[in-house]
Structure 1
Amino acid sequence: MRKKVYTKDYILKSAYELVEKEGFSNFTARNVAKKMGVSTQPIYLEFESMQDLKNTLIEMIFEELKQKVFLEEHTGNKLVDICINYIDFSQKNPKLFISLFVDENGGGKMMYDASHAYFNKIIKQDEQYAQMSDDYLQALHDGTWITITGMASLMASGIMQPSRQQIIEVIQHTIDSIMTLKNNNRL
């Protein structure tokens, strides 16, 4: 029996490199196969469809982000630290960031759902947020997500370059504003 030359991991690695360089707008079986230097057959032997490959790739990337990016401590406040790490990722990998979190062909809802679940898990480990209701956590997630995605997008495109302290202040101001609105039942 012949040994598989193009494994699932090899295809995912090639797909990752393609998305990292070109985004999801050119994410086709033909382009992934071209990156590998083969026909499209190995892709369809390992994955049911290109959507299956895309979903698997996005899950793989998010797992990598959780393990290697999002856990780094900066301030001791888990919420602020996750936000900083998200922005740092956008600066170190601008094309991949745009592909995953901004591009209409990218991760979109899948990245939002994964980040929301991860956010809840991590934030509940912090005493400051542990006892908050799901409504509070939802408001914190969405408010910080909007703020940091905006900042990260503007920074990735070179439009603005705030200092680390300015980034922390914007994040903290966002958190404080959401908490104030929520505490006054205005959110």
Structure 2
Amino acid sequence: MARKKEISKSKILDVAYRMAVKDGIESLTARSIAKAGHFSTQPLYLEFKSMSELRNQVLKRISHELRTDTLQKKYTGKPLIDLDLSYIYFAEKYVNLFKAMFVDGKFGSKIISDTLMELGIEKFKAQYPNTDYSDERIRGIVIANWITTAGMAALVVNKIARFSQEQIINVLNAQIHDAMLNDWLAKSRVKESPLFANEDLPY
């Protein structure tokens, strides 16, 4: 009879996920995970081909949590504004994870940026269901919105500025309105933001 594994893959991922949320993705080393989980490093190398594979699976779990819970909070009843507020409050609560994923950009930039873009487009369409904008125009509006939201989150996280919820909402409403009136990110004006660059586009 084969010996039953004492440390399962799911247990390792649970430990790694909790560490990433608390201390950021950079905290995930074989030794630190083993120490936090009170087991040796051997199970990690049995269950995962590499630490990169483990980190990617943790990032996918974080992405799932962002998509289904963390960025789905209700504050104003306006889907896109609520998404932005959820993001800013997430950054304030989980500073290390926010910096690792959204500021330093060392881990999971594609996984996370895809999640943010898909949510942003979904929430824009929910908040403005009667617009006849093209998919490209909506994408530009959402990118502009994320530029503003990420900037405010960075200011809050780095304690450069503090904003009341009313101030945040006022800034976001103004930015979204401006982006809907002025297509600042049109191809003829400026290349797409690197954070959300689509490698398949011919420019």
Please indicate the TM-score interval, normalised by the length of the shorter structure.
0.7 to 0.9
Match of 1:40 in 2: 41
| 8 A contact 2:25–2:97 mirrored in 1 | no
| 8 A contact 2:67–2:115 mirrored in 1 | no
Match of 1:148 in 2: 149
Match of 1:61 in 2: 62
Give the CA RMSD over aligned residues. Answer: 2.2
Q: Structure 1's 129 and 168: CA in aligned 2 closer, same or farther, altered over 3 A?
A: farther
Relative to the length of structure 1, the TM-score reads 0.87
Report the CA distance between 1:56 and its aligned residue: 1.0
Match of 2:126 in 1: 125
Aligned: 1:172 with 2:173:
yes
Between the two proteins, the alignment pairs up a number of residues equal to 186
| 8 A contact 1:19–1:99 mirrored in 2 | no
Please give the secondary structure, in 2, of the residue aligned with 1:124: helix
| 8 A contact 2:63–2:111 mirrored in 1 | no
Match of 2:3 in 1: 2
Report the CA distance between 1:155 and its aligned residue: 0.5
| 8 A contact 1:19–1:96 mirrored in 2 | yes
Please give the secondary structure, in 2, of the residue aligned with 1:66: helix
| 8 A contact 1:124–1:131 mirrored in 2 | no
Please give the secondary structure, in 2, of the residue aligned with 1:182: coil
Question: How many Å separate the matches in 2 of 1:168 and 1:101?
Answer: 21
Question: How many Å separate the matches in 1 of 2:105 and 2:121?
Answer: 25
| 8 A contact 1:123–1:129 mirrored in 2 | no
Question: How many Å separate the matches in 2 of 1:109 and 1:121?
Answer: 18
Question: How many Å separate the matches in 2 of 1:99 and 1:129?
Answer: 37
Q: Identity, % of aligned pairs? A: 34
Query: Which consecutive residues of structure 2, in runs of 5 or more, have no partner in the other structure?
Result: 190-203
Report the CA distance between 1:128 and its aligned residue: 3.4
Q: Which amino acid aligns with 1:38?
A: F
Question: How many Å separate the matches in 2 of 1:110 and 1:75?
Answer: 28
Please give the secondary structure, in 2, of the residue aligned with 1:112: helix
Q: Structure 1's 88 and 6: CA in aligned 2 closer, same or farther, altered over 3 A?
A: same
Match of 1:102 in 2: 103
Report the CA distance between 1:129 and its aligned residue: 6.2
Q: Structure 1's 6 and 137: CA in aligned 2 closer, same or farther, altered over 3 A?
A: farther
Q: Which amino acid aligns with 2:124?
A: I
Report the CA distance between 1:182 and its aligned residue: 2.3
| 8 A contact 2:88–2:152 mirrored in 1 | yes
Please give the secondary structure, in 1, of the residue aligned with 2:182: helix
The one-character-per-residue Cα deviations of 1:80-125 (angstroms, maximum 9, x if unpaired) are: 1111111111122222222222223233232112221232234333
Relative to the length of structure 2, the TM-score reads 0.81
